[in-house]
Amino acid sequence: EPEVTQTPSHQVTQMGQEVILRCVPISNHLYFYWYRQILGQKVEFLVSFYNNEISEKSEIFDDQFSVERPDGSNFTLKIRSTKLEDSAMYFCASRVGLTEKLFFGSGTQLSVL
């Protein structure tokens, strides 16, 4: 079964450093997403991406965050200057259409020290 692939599985960084989280969505999917989950809390929407542009973003997704689909297969989330409160599990997700189910990757655990 096709799956969403995320790398790395764990990332440790110092506060103020830039990090890039990488995802390879399922190949025929058109809609791409980033979600995050702080330990013990709910899965929170960050951003959706369609047709090479952001279609919606949450209030969490401020100027420190950016997304890119550089080559038609990868989908990346960049955090420009990490803060302690950015520590969370980040999930990439994709789907074929807006009413279809979301497929999630296994996540990148980001720890900001």
- Which residues sit at the interface with other proteins, rule CB under 8 A? 4, 33, 35, 41-45, 48, 50, 55-56, 89, 91, 93, 98-99, 101-107, 109
Least Å distance, CB 32 to other proteins, is 11
**Smallest Cα–Cα separation from 77: which of 11, 2, 27?**
11
Pull the structure tokens for residue 44: 């929170």
Surface-to-core class of residue 49, CB atoms within 10 Å of its CB (0-12 exposed, 13-18 middle, 19+ buried): buried
What letter does residue 101 receive in the DSSP assignment? P
Least Å distance, CB 74 to other proteins, is 18
Q: Which is nearer to other proteins, 15 or 43 (CB)?
A: 43
Q: Which is nearer to other proteins, 9 or 81 (CB)?
A: 9
Q: Which is nearer to other proteins, 2 or 16 (CB)?
A: 2
d(CA 65, CA 77): 7
